[in-house]
Amino acid sequence: MSNFSKGKYAEHIATKYLTDLGYIILENNFYTTEGELDIIARYKEFIVFIEVKSLSYYSKFSIYSTLIKTKRLRIKKSIYTWLRKYNLQSEIWRLDFIGIILGGKTEYSIEHFKFVEI
């Protein structure tokens, strides 16, 4: 599986997981000059920006370690761009991080970190 298809597969898994929890997906793959917001959703009173990463089960890295500081800063700038685009600057928002640990062809586990500091 190529990196591109692995990433899209992980985003698909994350989207299904979120909708099963009651999140309403507003947008996928919002691109800005700073980067991309993988999933944007509404959950209760929050607009939730979800960064999705995937790693192999055999990786020696932790899934959370893939969200480095420079990436978080780019995400934050992209969030502000999205909020301005839809005139939602006064909305309550948070950044979630979903890690998909891929095992075999159909095996995976999900790690969901809420309220990620950026």
Provide the whole-model pTM: 0.87
Query: CATH classification of 3-113 is 3.40.50.150, yes or no?
Result: no
Domain ranges of the chain: 3-113
Which residues make Cβ contacts (< 8 Å) with residue 23, sequence separation at least 6?
41, 42, 43, 48
Instruction: Tell me the pLDDT band of 1, cut-offs 50, 70 and 90.
Output: low
How many degrees, rounded to 5, is the angle at CA 76 between CA 75 and CA 80?
A: 115
pLDDT tens for 25-36 read 999 999 999 999
Tokens coding 75 = 């995400």
